[in-house]
Amino acid sequence: MFRRNIIHFIATVFLLSASVHAADTKTIYIEIVGKGEFEVIYHRVLSNAFGAAIGGLIGAGIQSSVEAGKDQKKTDELSPLIKKETWKTEFLDTLNDKLEAEGFEAVWVDDHKDAGDGFILRVYPESYGFKMVNTTTMMVSAFIAFKADFSAGNAKNTNAEEKEAYYITNKNQYPYEKLLEENSPVNSDLEAVLEKAANRLANKIIYSLKE
C-alpha cells in the first residue's frame, strides 16, 4: 500500500509539473514572406554624382543602370560558389533552435491564418551576400537585409507591429578578389552573418516576451 501511494504521488507530481510547463510554454508561429536573394553590391556603393553632373537625372539613371549591370556580373560570378539553401539552413534553422532552446515552441506556417493562439512572427527576406563597406580600402563584407514584424494574439485578433528593418554585416573584410580564390571565405562568412542576424532577432523576441 505504501509503495502504491508513493508511485501515485510521483505520478501526480509529474503530471502537475508537465501541466505547469505546458502552461508556461509560449508558441511562436513563424511565417516567411518572400525569398532572400543573393547579390553583390559593389559598384553601386562607388556611385557618385558624375552621371547627374553631366546629364541630370537621365545621366544619373544611366550611370546607376551601368553600375547595377556590373554588380550583376559579380553576383553571377560568385553565385556558383554559394551553398544552396543557405538562407534556410543558416538563418531559419538558427532562429528555430534559439527560440526552442529558450523554452518557446516554434511552429512554421505557410500563412498567418494557419496560426492558433500564441504569437506570430513574420520575416520578410530581402537580400544577402557581399557589399563594399569601405570605399577607401575597397573591402567587402558579408551582409544580410530583411524586415520582420511581431504580432500578439491569434489569427483573429492580431496586433501587428510595424515592420522593423534589419541590416547586419560581418566583421570580416576582404578585397573582392579574395572571394574568388580556392579557399574562398564566401560560405563561412555568409553562414556567420546569417546566424548573427537570426540570434539578434530571436533575442529581441525572447526579451520582449519575458519583460
As a whole-number percent, the residues of the chain with pLDDT over 70 amount to: 72
Report the DSSP beta bridge partners of residue 40: 130
pLDDT digit string (tens) for 20-58? 334 456 888 888 898 889 999 999 988 753 444 555 555
- Going by pLDDT thresholds of 50, 70 and 90, the confidence category of residue 3 is very low
Q: Is residue 6 part of a domain?
A: no
* Residue that is written with C-alpha cell 550583376 in the block: 72
The domain that contains 161 carries what CATH number?
A: 3.30.160.150
* Residue 17 burial by Cβ neighbours in a 10 Å radius (0-12, 13-18, 19+): exposed
Residue 60 lies in a domain: no
Kindly give the pairing relationship between strand 37-41 and strand 119-134: parallel
In total, how many domains does the chain have? Answer: 1
Question: In which domain, by residue range, is 110 found?
Answer: 26-42+84-210
Q: Are 119 and 129 in contact (CB under 8 A)?
A: no
Q: What is the pLDDT of residues 109-132, one digit of tens each?
A: 876 666 667 788 999 999 999 999
The three three-digit cell numbers of residue 183, written as one number: 579557399
How open is the CA angle 154-157-161, to the nearest 5 degrees? Answer: 90
Q: Structure pTM?
A: 0.76
Distance CA 5, CA 175 (A): 72
The predicted-structure confidence for 68-113, as pLDDT tens digits, reads as follows 889 999 999 999 999 888 888 888 899 999 999 998 888 888 766 6
Please check whether residue 105 lies inside any domain of the structure.
yes
Q: Please choose, from the candidates 184, 177, 79, the residue with its C-alpha nearest in 3D space to the C-alpha of residue 128.
A: 79
- Assigned C-alpha cell, 165: 528593418
> Is residue 139 a part of any domain in this protein?
yes
Confidence of residue 63 (pLDDT cuts 50, 70, 90): low
Q: What is the pLDDT of residue 176?
A: 96
In a domain, residue 135? The reply is: yes
33 in any annotated domain: yes
